[in-house]
Amino acid sequence: MLVTTLHTTATDTVWIARAKGAVSYGVSVSRNEFGINGGLFPSPDGKRLAYYRKDESKVGIFPLLDITSRTGSLIALRYPMNGMDSERVDLCIWDSETRTNITIDADALAEPTQPTTRYADDRYLTNISWQDDNTILIQAVDRSQHYCKLVSFDATTGELTGTILREENPEWVEPYEPTHPISPDRFIYSTDNRDGFKNLYLCDLKGNISRIPTAHADVQFKAYRDGWIYYTSSELSPAENHLFRIKLTLPRRSDKGVRFNQPRSEKGVRFDQPSSDKGVRFGQPQRLTSEQGWHSITMLPDGWFDTFSSFDNPGWSKVFSDDGKLRETLEESSDPLGEYASCEVEFGTVPSADGLYQNHYRLIKPLNFDPQRKYPLIVYVYGGPHSQMVHDSWLGNIRMWEMLMAQRGYVVYCQDNRGTQCHGAAYEKAISRCCGQAEMQDQMVGIRALLAEPWIDSTRVGVHGWSYGGFMTISLATTYPEVFKVAVAGGPVIDWKWYEIMYGERYMDTELTNPEGFALTSLLGKANKLQCRLLICQGAIDDTVVWQHSLSFLQECIDEGKQVDYFPFPKAYHNMMGRERVYLYQKITDYFDNNL
């Protein structure tokens, strides 16, 4: 329940909000970071229930305007801003048989060797998993997100029973999925902190760990059954997703180690043999998906469901048995754009600015493209972590708004950059402590290559993005003002000191520990560099990128005498849905039509 009061003095009016019920139970925590998407974790036998307890009493309140009441009111959003007080998370366990409730001893997780800060006791309890009915595993991350340890607790007492593994990284550690038990004392663990890619590891409760011999590429665990580990991998290409499996033979009690099937030579693939795990032998994985492209896999109890498409194939949906044999074809898609005026789409790569990687792009040419003409260019950008805008799926994972703009006479370009996923840890962590810099450099490689084409009008270049893409849009417009004529930024991050702790401190640390990075990436003070026409759109009750960002930049533009266009959506959150989304994209389309 929210209670608000207004106190008026001769000099000012102060809004005071007291949000009751700051403690909640069984809900998602840490603003859904670290792969967290719920707060209830039943034991395998169903007799115990682990659940999060979240205490937000110290978290600052940001006021959002609710216009639906007669006189208007304020919504008290508890928003943990970078460098400020955060929520306190505990894990509790309810025993249905004894009717007792315990809280795990989270204070036992303190690391005396870690740096002492004001928030040294803050930690994230992530990826909760049950190893058995009495043992619960937690991946505990410290506030700085440079340290992580996998720990086990006794579910009957809440006491710490062991620290299984430790991770440390000067950029960040980010556990993103729970462990997967495969025997009473063994489980599969995922991390990108040990071998340069997000790999899978066979571990036991004593801390012994061996990398499961997938290729050197980012992989994701899908299932374990009948001695087979199933996983998807980007090893053929960062733009492709395929399903693999590998046979695992667990040792009998008398065995000294774990045996994998004997490796076979295939297309020059080589696996590193561990030097410390005696008796562990790695084998060649089996690829189960054959068609080049993107396979979205859903595991079934005795098989898997594959939704597939590739750049030039609209795809199909099929069900396969565990060994990869086709069981049923559910749908084979025809060209969904066959009845429409489709435009030519190009799929390819450009080098990253540091020359170490290839970034994928899609390029949509205008309807009835004539290379003798000159066309305006629109760049659609996101570029942030955990994203991949372009991959080898139908028309390069195109958004239909891009096709619409190409039909209206624009060249439309979208490209991934360093900082996004599926290329390994170094590629993703190139943005550490300086968000937007490597991303802009990579984007400009592709943009400049396009500007060299005779059919691009270099005086008519626009850029558009939302959220992190809004941050990238204004960053590009103010860093390369000579390039862009029009920009449309939605829900943009303006300064990382106003963004949430969990995400922002991972990539930027804090203003105290990284003052140079905050000064470099902040868009405050850069309004004077703006030369293009700029439209900013913002949900007035955005609880992800709060209104303070765009309003502060707007004020900077006023102070600098820079004319910008600003459109708030009074009842919209961060992601525009329904009527607001339709209205938004008509406004974006009109803005480019009128100014580019």
The arithmetic mean of pLDDT across residues 474-490, rounded, is 98
Q: How far apart are the first and last CA of the chain?
A: 48
Segment 431-474, tens digit of pLDDT:
999 999 999 999 999 999 999 999 999 999 999 999 999 999 99
Tell me what pLDDT residue 284 has: 80
Tell me what pLDDT residue 338 has: 86
Rounded Cα distance between 295 and 309, Å, is 7
The residue among 6 and 174 whose pLDDT is bigger is 174
Q: Any idea where the domains of the chain sit in the sequence?
A: 17-164, 179-334, 353-595
The answer to whether the 17-164 and 353-595 domains have the same CATH topology is: no
Does residue 18 carry a pLDDT above 60?
A: no
The arithmetic mean of pLDDT across residues 87-115, rounded, is 86
pLDDT tier at 112, thresholds 50, 70, 90: low
| 147 close to 168: Cβ distance less than 8 angstroms | yes
Spell out the SS3 assignment of 475-491.
HHHHHCCCCCCEEEEEC
pLDDT tier at 11, thresholds 50, 70, 90: very low
Which positions ≥6 away from 224 have C-beta within 8 Å?
180, 182, 188, 230, 248
The arithmetic mean of pLDDT across residues 509-519, rounded, is 97
Tell me what pLDDT residue 283 has: 65
Across 365-442, the runs of DSSP E, i.e. the strands, are 375-380, 411-415
In whole numbers, what is the pLDDT of the chain averaged over residues? 90
Tell me what pLDDT residue 111 has: 66
pLDDT tier at 113, thresholds 50, 70, 90: low
Tell me what pLDDT residue 261 has: 45
Q: What are phi and psi of 129, to 5 degrees?
A: -145, 150
H/E element, 14? strand 13-19
Q: Assign a CATH topology to domain 353-595.
A: Rossmann fold (3.40.50)
Class of domain 179-334: mainly beta
**Angle, to 10 degrees, between the axis of helix 437-451 and the axis of helix 468-479?**
60
Active-site amino acid positions: 467, 542, 574
Does residue 395 carry a pLDDT above 90?
A: yes
The arithmetic mean of pLDDT across residues 141-170, rounded, is 96
What is the token pair recorded at 494? 């303006």
Rounded Cα distance between 484 and 487, Å, is 7
Tell me what pLDDT residue 120 has: 57
Does residue 321 carry a pLDDT above 70?
A: yes
Tell me what pLDDT residue 274 has: 38
Rounded Cα distance between 407 and 425, Å, is 38
Query: Considering only 21-30, 437-446, 552-561, which range has the smallest mean pLDDT?
Result: 21-30
CATH architecture of residue range(s) 17-164: 8 Propeller (2.140)
Does residue 253 carry a pLDDT above 70?
A: no
pLDDT tier at 17, thresholds 50, 70, 90: very low
Q: What is the DSSP string of 104-117?
A: --GGGG--TTSPP-
Burial class of residue 531, CB neighbours in 10 A (0-12, 13-18, 19+):
middle
Instruction: Kindly state the percentage of the chain with pLDDT values over 70.
Output: 89
Spell out the SS3 assignment of 143-181.
CCCCEEEEEEEECCCCCEEEEEEEEECCCCCCCCCCCEE
